[in-house]
Amino acid sequence: MLRVGVNGYGTIGKRVADAIRAQPDMEVCGVAKVSPDYVAVGAAEAGYPVYAVDADRADEFRSIGIDLAGTVDELVAASDVVVDATPSGVGADNRPLYERHDTPALFQGGEDATVAEVSFNARANFDEATDADYVRVVSCNTTGLSRFVAPLEENYGIEKVRATLVRRGGDPNQTGRGPINDALPDPVSIPSHHGPDVQTVYPELDIDTIGLKVPTTMMHVHAVNVTLDDVPDDVSDVRDRLRAEDRLLLIPDYAGIDGAGTLKDLALDAGRPRGDVWENCIWEESITLEGRDLYCMQAIHQESDVVPENVDALRAISGHLTGPESRTLTNETLGIGL
């Protein structure tokens, strides 16, 4: 049983903790929190041992009835692996803590790629992370693009990817983010940093990306154009190959799903935790071939698509299952693709 500590219990950390708890071969040995807030109360109520990041705030935790299990240093010492889900840049600052305890760690996509030996996507490069000590699970957008690219690269070869990323302004709990009434080129410079981030997973891929930010908290939407090397006789071949992927969900026209709002509604109706949508959601009708150019549109749930990838990265680090075995187990336990 792999004992996993979660350092940074926010949007990603709490989801990853719950996903780990659903696995038969790993357990959460504790979560580290900075603030004694409603999220900390939720962690304690969920039965996770809570560790304080700042020992000086221990009394504040106690005053709201949270019985601390110790400090973050003790959590790292008690863990076989740590999932660091702290805000961008904090993970890199934490790396010496993990090194001091000789504890392997996963970092998240907000960190520079240099924080780890490998930038990871379970579908694209699971084996590269086998037995690594430090692995970065790439961002929500990079995860979404890597999953989409994988079957196209393998079946047809890719000359070039061009993607426009219409990004959510913030997560639902990020009350200060925006814009609230605009569509912002973000970044204004082209190509955006997302393409190079995909190249941390696919170093040979020719990819340019453009980013915008819009007033929604629900999901990102990508408009993707891929110039293929070998073109199938019919676009149905592409659709079938995409449909066969476990973390790509093809949305049929009949479903009446016209955007992220209806997708989230579907996820909530299906009883998914927090209304999470772990898969890339591709509008089937948008999958179109014009000569060698493939087009499509996909929605990416930023809060949750990296969650199964973290679970798989833990198995890559510990080396006890292959990529396909790990993905299947993760999918079954979380209910992905059902």
Tell me if 119 contacts ligand NAD by CB under 6 A.
Answer: no
Tell me if 122 contacts ligand NAD by CB under 6 A.
Answer: no
Which tokens in the block code for residue 305?
């698509």
Span near ligand NAD by CB under 6 A; candidates 29-37, 41-49, 58-66, 286-294: 29-37
Tokens 């199938």 correspond to what residue? 232
Taking the complex as a whole, how short is the minimal distance between the CB of residue 54 and ligand NAD, in angstroms? 8
Backbone angles phi, psi at 114, to 5 degrees: -70, -10
Which tokens in the block code for residue 216?
């929604």
Taking the complex as a whole, how short is the minimal distance between the CB of residue 132 and ligand NAD, in angstroms? 18
Q: How many whole angstroms separate alpha carbon 106 and alpha carbon 244?
A: 28
Taking the complex as a whole, how short is the minimal distance between the CB of residue 91 and ligand NAD, in angstroms? 6
> Of 49-78, which residues contact ligand NAD (CB under 6 A)?
53
Tell me if 134 contacts ligand NAD by CB under 6 A.
Answer: no
Tell me if 142 contacts ligand NAD by CB under 6 A.
Answer: no
Quote the distance between the C-alpha of residue 17 and its chain's center. 13
Q: Which CB, 216 or 322, lies closer to ligand NAD?
A: 216
Tell me if 85 contacts ligand NAD by CB under 6 A.
Answer: yes
Q: How far is CA 282 from CA 116, 274, 285, in A?
A: 31, 21, 9
Return the residue of 4, 6, 11, 282 that touches ligand NAD, per CB under 6 A.
11
Q: What is the size of the binding site for ligand NAD (CB under 6 A)?
A: 26
Tell me if 8 contacts ligand NAD by CB under 6 A.
Answer: yes
> Of 171-230, which residues contact ligand NAD (CB under 6 A)?
171
Q: How many whole angstroms separate alpha carbon 32 and alpha carbon 275?
A: 24
The answer to whether residues 246 and 331 touch, using CB atoms and an 8 Å cutoff, is yes
Q: How many whole angstroms separate alpha carbon 76 and alpha carbon 97?
A: 8
Active site residue 140: yes
Q: Helix, strand or coil for residue 70?
A: strand
Taking the complex as a whole, how short is the minimal distance between the CB of residue 2 and ligand NAD, in angstroms? 21
Give the bridge partners for 223, in sequence order. Answer: 164, 297
Tokens 């090194």 correspond to what residue? 99
Site map for ligand NAD, 269-308, x if CB under 6 A? ---------------------------------xx--x--
Tell me if 34 contacts ligand NAD by CB under 6 A.
Answer: yes
Residue nearest to ligand NAD (CB): 10
Taking the complex as a whole, how short is the minimal distance between the CB of residue 231 and ligand NAD, in angstroms? 33
Q: Which helix (H) or strand (E) holds 140?
A: helix 140-155
Q: How many whole angstroms separate alpha carbon 185 and alpha carbon 237?
A: 35
Quote the distance between the C-alpha of residue 141 and its chain's center. 8
Tell me if 86 contacts ligand NAD by CB under 6 A.
Answer: yes
Taking the complex as a whole, how short is the minimal distance between the CB of residue 233 and ligand NAD, in angstroms? 38
Q: How many whole angstroms separate alpha carbon 113 and alpha carbon 132?
A: 14
Give the bridge partners for 139, in sequence order. Answer: none
Catalytic positions, written as ranges: 140
Q: Which residues bind ligand NAD (CB under 6 A)?
A: 7-13, 32, 34-35, 53, 85-88, 90, 108-111, 139-140, 171, 302-303, 306
